[in-house]
Amino acid sequence: MTPRNIVIVGGGSAGWMAAAYLDASLNRNNRKVAEITLVESPEVPRIGVGEATVPSINHILAVVGVNEHDFLRRVDGTFKQAIKYVNWLQNDGSSYYHPFNRFREAPIDRTGKRWLMSDRSIPFAETISAQPVLCENNIAPQMLGPWDFGPPLTYAYHMNALKFADYLCEIATARGVRHRIDHMVDVEMAENGDIAAIRTKSGERIAGDLFIDCTGFAALLIEKKLDVKWIDSSQWLLCDRAVTMHVPHDPYYPGHIRPYTTASALSSGWVWEIPLQDKRSLGYVHSSAHLSEDQAHAELHQFEGAHADKLDSRVVHFKVGHREQAWVRNCIAIGLAGSFIEPLESTGLYLSDLASVMLAEHFPYENDYAPLAYRFNRIMANRFYEILDFINLHYCLTRRTDTEFWREVQRPERINDRLKAKLDYWRVKPPSQSDFEDQYFPGQSLSPLSSSGQLGDFRPPVDTAAIFGIDSHEAILYGMDFLRDESKQWFGENLPKSQVAGSVAARLQKAPNKLPPHDLWLQRVVGTPAYQKTIVR
C-alpha cells in the first residue's frame, strides 16, 4: 500500500499532538500507512500558558508511548485530581470541587438522592470522593513506592504547553515525521476543489493527500482558502479575553504545589490557577463588554497580591464557537482553527486530542473522504455542544448579583435551549444514570446543528455524555446548590445530617500513611527543587 501524505500546517500542542498520535496509531508493526510532514512558521509567535488536561490525555500518552515520569520532567508537569471552584455560587469565599474519582453504590446508586435528602452540611463532593480533602491537604494521587492503596485515583495533569509541544516534536521527528520550519505563503488547489499543495517562503512545494489546519484562529486553510464559516457561540458564553501571568516559585513560592486546578470567580469572569513545577500560571478569563483591559489587569494583580506588580501580564483574545464543518474535502481543522470553548473544564487540549483520535479512527485509506468526513464532523459537533452545555451550566446556576456580568449570565437568553430542557427535567426528577443514555428531554428544541453541522444533517446535536456524564453533572449541579428549594418541598425541612460514604472515610483515614505531599512526590520522583515559602496564598 502506498502511504498517504499528511501535511500538517502549524505546530503548537494541536499540531504536534496530531503528528505524534497519527504516526503512532497508523504507522504500527512496521507498516507505513502515512508519511507525515509538519510545517511550522518561524514568523508566528509561540504563545505559552500553563495548560490543564482531563484524564483522556492518558490515552494520547499511552498510544504515543510516553513514560509518565519522563513526561512530567519534560513539561514541568504536576498532578491534577480535581477542579476547585471559588465564589461561583455567591461572592462569599465559598467553594466546591469537581473531582475525578468518586464512590458509587451498587447495585443501585442512591448517593445523589441521599445527599438531597440531607441537610447539606457536608458538600456533596466530599461525601462521595476522597479527592476534595486530599486536594485541600495538597496530597499527591501517587505513592512513593508500589501502589497498595485500593483502586487507583484518577488524575490528569498540569503542564507547560510549549514544552509539551516540543516534547512531542522530539518524539515524532525521531520516528520519521518530517519537520519544516518555514512560512506558508500560498495554497495550491486541485481542479476538483481539494488542496493539492502548499508553497513556502523558501520556495518549497509540499504536496499532500490530507491537509490538517493547525494554524489557530487564523485558520489559513479551512477558512482563508476553503471559506468554511465560523459558527459563533458567544451568546451562551460571554468571555472573550484572558489576561495571563506567570508567577515563578523563585521567589514567590506559596509553600505548596496544589494537585488541582483552581477557578476563582471575579467581577466579570474567572481566574485559572495552574500549578507547575517551577511556577503558577494565572489567567483572568473575562468579558470585554463588562471590563476594560486596564481593569482586567488591575483585578488580576489584586487577586495575586502586591508582588504581581513586578510581573508581566498580557492579553489573549479568543472567540467561542466552532467551524461549520471541521473536515471539508481533504482538509481537517484541529485545535483553534476548528473550535474553541473557554477552558473552564480544561477542554482546550481535549478537543485537539479528540480530533486526532477521531481522524485516526476515520482515516481515509482511499480518496473517498465524504462518508468519513460526515461521521467525523457529526462526532466533533456533538462533542462541542456537550462541552458548551456543560460550561454554560457553571454560569447559569449562580446566585451572584454583585456585578452586571453575573446578573447577565443568569438571564434566560444566555442559557441555551438544550441546557434549559435538561434543567427543567431535573427539577421534576433528579439526574440519574439513564438520563445520559441520550440526552434528549421534553421541550428540547428540534433545531438542527448550526448550518446543519454538515450538508444533509438536519438533526439537532445529541449529548451522549462522552466526556461529562452523571458524575460530572452531579458535581456541578450540587456544588451550585441545585434543587435546594425543590428538595425542601419533596423531603421536608428537618433533614438528617449529610454522611460521608464509608469507603471514602476509610480511604481518608489511611491516606496520610500512604500518600505523600504533592511537592514531596515531585521532588523525590521527578527532581523538582525544594523551594522555600515566601508568600501566602
Cell 504547553 belongs to which residue? 161
**In sequence order, which residues have a C-beta less than 8 Å from that of residue 230 and are 6 or more positions away?**
219, 223, 319, 321, 322, 323, 324
CA gyration radius, the chain = 24
The catalytically annotated residue of 80, 225, 279, 420 is: 80
533 counts as catalytic: no
For 230-347, where are the alpha helices, taking DSSP H only?
249-252, 293-304
Name the strand (E) or helix (H) holding 283.
strand 279-286
For the chain, helix, strand, coil in percent to 5 are: 35, 20, 45
- Which of 133, 89, 126 has the alpha carbon at shortest distance from 111? 126
SS3 assignment, position 22: helix
For residue 43 the three cell numbers come to 514568523
Amino acid of residue 524: R
Contact between 76 and 278 (Cβ < 8 Å): yes
Q: At what angle do helices 348-361 and 12-26 cross, to 10 degrees?
A: 30
Contact between 351 and 379 (Cβ < 8 Å): no
Name the strand (E) or helix (H) holding 63.
helix 57-64
Contact between 442 and 400 (Cβ < 8 Å): no
Give Cα 114 to chain centroid, integer Å.
30
Contact between 336 and 349 (Cβ < 8 Å): no
257: Cα within 13 Å, side-chain hemisphere: 33
Compute the C-alpha angle 77/81/83, nearest 5°. Answer: 100
Tell me which residues are annotated as active site: 80
